[in-house]
Every structure is written in structure tokens, then in C-alpha cells.
Amino acid sequence: MEEIIRINLDNEMDLIIVHKRTMRLAELCGLSVASQTTFATAVSEVARLAISYGDKSFIVLSINILRLNQKEIVATIYDKVDLKAINTEPYSYARRLLGDIQTSYNNYFHETILKFRIQFGGIISKAKIESFKEYFKNEPSISAYDEIRKKNIQLLELIDKLGESENRYRMVSDNLPLMMFVINNDGKITYANKWLKEFIESQGLIPNNITWFSLLNQPDYRGFYGDWERAIQNKTIFKAQGRLKQKENLIWHLISIMPIKNDNDLVTNWIGFFVDIHAQKVVEETLRDNQALKLIQEELIAHQQELEIKNTRLSRQNDFIETVLDSSVDYILTIDQEFRIITFNHSYEVLSGKKREEVLGKDITDVFPVIKENGTYKSLKDALNGTPSHKPVHQSPISQRFYEVFYIPLSDDTETTHGAVVLGRDITDQLQHELKLKAINEELLLRNNELEQFAYIASHDLQEPLRKITTFSKLLNESLVLNEKQRDYFNRIIKSSNRMSNLIRDVLDYSRLARSEEQFVEVDLNEILNTVKVDFELLIEEKDAVINSDILPKIPGIYLQLTQLFFNLLSNSLKFSKERPVINITCRKLNTEEVNNIIELNANKSYYLIDFQDNGIGFEQQFSRQIFTIFQRLNDKHSYAGTGIGLALCKKIVENHNGHLTATSEPGQGAVFHVYLPASL
């Protein structure tokens, strides 16, 4: 796409220019008068809509090169406003003239694209397209308005150049230690350098739209008002002395204001300066008044004493900082932008074997040439450019020990980096301890695996002799003629065997939990609760139990383990009840503050809290941890059956799911088991 000409759409005169230049481009491309009129009319319809309702509208006339050297004239109208949404009639009319019209939205502009195929596009060469551009660049103005527009464009270019010149002037004026300003003929400040801006803002004023004399002590201004009026009339330089209001003080300044004239000798602006001469005026006044001089002398002595005290404090602070740096076990080194060493603490002396007085002020690459080879030099350059870095493990080529190293930029209030700090911490012993700890953990993991396998195999192998004891005891009990005491012995053997079998089965379940390698899937806890309720259907009917439940969520987990969790918790609530059991299962999602208040939970995750509340016999709160310990029972095994593993299994299952399990209770008041489970992996 070759852009030929660009036209802003601001008013009806622009519409005339668009129409004429569209016609002219179509004529240059060899279109007939009818085709020229058709295309220009369609473009004008949309352009008129942009002028009426648009925002920052402009049109670009281009020539687009198609396949087989075919070409088309393209008019693209850009607008911040969606013109088609405002009025579709101009679009409909333009579509009847040209056919398809494309619209799009790019880079915050709505685009309307109108095209017209050039019948003999092959004859329009690259050189000819360049001649079209040159033509419109040098084309005579269509009207006085068009001439003004061209002049305005040239003026904008000139303004850009003036802007660059103004920036250079502003840089110079801001760095001069005096207050500079430009005023118009009414005395209003149109420009103030950095020093004057800061002065004005310190008075609680806004720099724009205030007069220069409003900054002065008004009695002083009234004293030289006539001189200023004469300077305005005669277009001459004005000079005076006056006091500027600085908070509660009045500070003497030399005031110089000179006119800036144009070619017609008319004053367009005035440039002025405020130069602080307060010290000079104070001296003059004190020479006239010995008593005032004495007071100033006393003040100077007091300031001098205060300065001496501050210098003493500063010296002590420097000594203290140096003592702190030298007392640090970390090595600390500071360089400036020229890589010169400006701080070098005692630990660095010990590490490098170099004395502080030998290296201060020297280039670090001269003192330690090896840093150019091990990446330290690059980290220093980054820090001096304002980018901090951190090397968790770095082996020193000097001591061969390992260090954690930080490269920290030093910057002031202006965020200008003027140096860098290198802070290193010896982590050799820590790394060695970590390696030892890793080896111990690996050995411990191996031992745990061996113990788990042993528990699993031992528990599994114990089942077989127990089954035989139970079976043969039942057979003997049924086949022998026994008295009541003998039959009681056999019943005790059978009950003990069954209890032992249940205990071994629970140990096997606990062992399997420790070795579980199942993958997490999405689990519907409502489905699990319904399954467990079916398992307890007869017991629920027998005890006339009531189970109330909220709608439970879907969470990532292991289906069989979560089923066992619900089974054991419901079994526990149904077992430890002396009246009609009522079990309430509630669920809610914890907020961030609640998660942060529970140290066992990961603060970066979200959790569900599921409470299992019953009206059973309860227990003392002091035993709330003991009940989750394997083989720990709070009740008589003859009154309440069980092996003492069920709640330990529950705790293990919750931990396998990266959750947390607690319980609260009072004797005779039932118990609440709080299950915290992650809402996501």
C-alpha cells in the first residue's frame, strides 16, 4: 500500500479539499470522469459524517498493488468514533456506489476503507506513483484555506524545532542557580525554571497563571511600581531590589526583567531573573546597626557550635557504621560508577588477604582481575545500571569456598544509580550440612519404606493363622458337647480372634495409606456421602439415626481414601451414641484470613471446611490430639467395639490430601470433627 496524501477532517473546507484531491488522484490514475465522480462522491459521504460527528478524524488516499500488477485506489478514513454506529445512511449510499466497504478497528481507531479498481493498473509504475506523491506535495493550493492549512503544517514542523530548542533552553535554565521566568505584557508568568517552580510550590501556589509581582512583599513592590510602568512604556530593561515571601520569612533578591521584541519592535514577552542577595543585604544592614551585627555574630557562633556538634555526631555515626561493617561476618564491598572501591570491610580483608588502605580508591578490576572471567564483572555492571542480581551459590576463586552473593545498586532520591554494593555470605558449612541432611533423609526414607513393607507383609501373614484359629474354634464349638464354662471359653477365643483380625486389617489399611501412589481425580463428595449412607443403611434404621448435610463440593482427591474417611467419621458418630443419633454435615469455603490463621494450611491455597457434628457421648478436649493416635482409645473396648485405628486412618487420609483434621468436644455434648481439604491441587 503506497500512501499518496493525508488530509485532516476538521471542517467543511476540508470536505471540499478531500473531494477535489480524490477526483484529482482518480484522474491521474486514468479513471473516467464518471468513475472519478462516483469514487469521490462515495468518499465525501463518509468524510462528511466524520467531520460532523468524528473525533481526531483524517483520511489517507493510497494506491494498493494487487496480484498480476493490478492496482486500486484506496481511501481509508480513520476516526476515534464508530461512525457507522452513529449513521448508516452514508455507508449505505457509498456501498451502492462502490459495492463492498470494509470497516475495522485497529490501534484505537475505527477504519472505513473504500476501494476503486484501476482499469489499466499495469501502466502505473513505481516511478509514476512517486510522481503522484511529488505532485500533491507541490500542488498549488486549492483555496486560501488550503494555503493556510499548508502554512499551518509548516508551522507545526517549526514548532517541533522550537520545542527542541526550548528543551535545551529549559535544561540550561534549570541548572543555573537562580530563578528565571518569562512573563507576558500583563505580568503573568508563562514559564518558570525549576528553581522558581520549587519556590512557588513551597508557598502553596500553582506556578501557572500568577503574576511575578504577587511573589513579592507588596510594600517593596509599591516602592518601585512606577519604575516598572516606565520600563513597560519605554520597552527598556527593568532592575530593582525586593523581598520575596518565603513562608514566614522575607528574602532579598535582585530583580532583572528585560523585554523580548519581534521584528516590528513590539514587545512579545519579558524574561526575568530573581538573584538571592539576602546575605549581602544582611551585611549592609548589620553594618548600619552594630547591635544587629552582634546578634548575627552570636547566631553565627551558635550555628558554628551546632555545626561542630553535628560534625562530631556525623563522625561518630561514620565510626559506628564502619564498626558495624567490620563486625559483620558477611563480606561487604562498595564501588562507584568508575568501578573504584569506596568501602572494604574487615571480612573482605580476611577473604582477599588485602589491606583496606591498599585497595580504597583503586579500580576493582585491577585489584581482582579474576572477576572478569567468572561473571562477577557483568553482575557489577548490571548493578551500576540499576539492575540488582543474586547468585545463590558462587565459588570464590580466591578462597575456593562457597558464598551467596548479592549485587545491589546504590541510588539517591532522584533514582540515579551512583554505585553498587557487593554483599557475600559464606554458605560452605551450610551446603555441607544440607548434603549431610539430604543423605540422612534418603536413608530415613529407605528405612521407612522397609518398615512399611515389613508391617504390610507381617500383618498380611498373620491373617492366615488367625483365620484357622477362628474356623477351628467355631467347628469345635459346634461339634463338641461342652458345658457352659467350656463354651464360654470357645466364644472368648472366637471374639479375640475376630478382634485381632480386625486389628490386623486396620493395620493393613494404615500401611496401604502410607504407600499409596494413586493419582488425584475430581471427586464428588455428595456421591461419596450417599455411598457411605447406603453402607450404613441397616444401622441407621436400627438406631433411627438422622443425617443432615449441606451440598458438598467436588475436590481433587483419591476416591477410595475419601470414601474410607467419610465411612470412619460416620461410623464413629453412629457408634458413640446412647440416644437417637443426629449427625449434621456442614461445608463452607474459608476466606484468606481464616487460612492464614491456621499454620497447618498453605496460605497460597484455598480450602473447604467440612464439619461432622454429632450428639454422642463426647470426650474431654484435652484428649483432642490423642484420639487421632494409632491404637489410642478413650473408651472401654467392651462397651464400644473397635481397634483404635479408625480416627488415625482419617487423619492419615486428610494429610495425604494436604489437608488438616481436628476435633472439639465436651463430655455428654457430642463432638465436632473439622476436616480442612484443599479446593484445588
pLDDT value at residue 513: 61
Model confidence pLDDT, tens digit, residues 301-331 = 888 788 778 777 766 766 666 676 767 778 7
pLDDT value at residue 638: 44
Mean pLDDT of the chain: 81
pLDDT value at residue 640: 43
Least confident of 5-9, 44-48, 149-153, 497-501: 149-153
333 lies in the same domain as 307: no
Of residues 198 and 248, more confidence is placed in: 198
Final residue of a structural domain among 510, 526, 556? 510
Residue 561 corresponds to which cell in the numbers above?
481414601
Whether 38 and 170 have beta carbons less than 8 Å apart is answered as: no
What's the mean pLDDT in 512-517?
57
What's the mean pLDDT in 518-543?
89
540 lies in the same domain as 490: no
Band (pLDDT 50/70/90 cuts) for residue 632 is very low
413 lies in the same domain as 473: no
580 lies in the same domain as 659: yes
Q: What single string gives the DSSP state of each residue in 365-401?
A: HHH-GGGGTSSHHHHHHHHHTT--EEEEEEE-TTT--
Least confident of 128-132, 375-379, 430-434, 517-521: 517-521
Per-residue DSSP letter, 271: E
Final residue of a structural domain among 391, 426, 461? 426
In a domain, 357, yes or no: yes
pLDDT value at residue 649: 86
Whether 398 and 303 have beta carbons less than 8 Å apart is answered as: no
Considering the chain, what percentage of its residues have pLDDT values greater than 70? 82
527 lies in the same domain as 569: yes
- Report whether pLDDT(248) > 80: no
* Whole-angstrom distance, CA of residue 597 vs CA of residue 608: 15
528: which residues sit within 8 A by CB, 6+ positions away?
A: 559, 562, 563, 566
In a domain, 396, yes or no: yes
- Report whether pLDDT(458) > 60: no
Q: What is the span of the domain harbouring residue 448?
A: 432-510
364 lies in the same domain as 393: yes
CATH of the domain at 416: 3.30.450.20
Considering the chain, what percentage of its residues have pLDDT values greater than 90? 21
Nearest 5 degrees, angle CA 653-CA 655-CA 661?
90
Of residues 493 and 187, more confidence is placed in: 187
Model confidence pLDDT, tens digit, residues 423-437 = 888 888 888 888 888
pLDDT value at residue 631: 43
**pTM summary value:** 0.34
Number of domains within the chain = 6
* Whole-angstrom distance, CA of residue 463 vs CA of residue 455: 13
Of residues 381 and 514, more confidence is placed in: 381
In a domain, 154, yes or no: no
Model confidence pLDDT, tens digit, residues 600-627 = 899 899 999 999 999 988 888 887 787 8
In a domain, 301, yes or no: yes
534 lies in the same domain as 598: yes
pLDDT value at residue 642: 44
CATH of the domain at 85: 3.30.565.10
pLDDT value at residue 79: 94
pLDDT value at residue 109: 93
Final residue of a structural domain among 393, 426, 459? 426
What's the mean pLDDT in 500-518?
60
Q: What is the 3-state secondary structure (H, E, C) of 313-361?
A: HHHHHHHHHHHHHHHCCCEEEEEECCCEEEEECHHHHHHHCCCHHHHCC
Band (pLDDT 50/70/90 cuts) for residue 636 is very low
* Whole-angstrom distance, CA of residue 35 vs CA of residue 180: 62
Whether 620 and 582 have beta carbons less than 8 Å apart is answered as: no
547 lies in the same domain as 449: no
CATH of the domain at 437: 1.10.287
482 lies in the same domain as 358: no
In a domain, 146, yes or no: no
In a domain, 359, yes or no: yes
* Whole-angstrom distance, CA of residue 601 vs CA of residue 619: 26
491 lies in the same domain as 525: no
> Terminal CA-to-CA distance of the chain, rounded, Å?
53
Model confidence pLDDT, tens digit, residues 156-208 = 566 566 556 566 656 656 666 678 888 888 888 888 888 888 888 887 777 77
Question: Which H/E stretch holds residue 21?
Answer: helix 12-28
- Residue 109 Cα to chain centre, angstroms: 29
pLDDT value at residue 522: 94
In a domain, 645, yes or no: yes
Look-up: residue for cell 458438598? 552
What's the mean pLDDT in 574-601?
90
Per-residue DSSP letter, 30: T
468 lies in the same domain as 546: no
Least confident of 40-54, 451-465, 484-498: 451-465
Least confident of 72-81, 373-382, 495-504: 495-504
In a domain, 115, yes or no: yes
78 lies in the same domain as 8: yes
Please tell me the number of Cα atoms within 13 Å of 431 on its side-chain side. Answer: 12
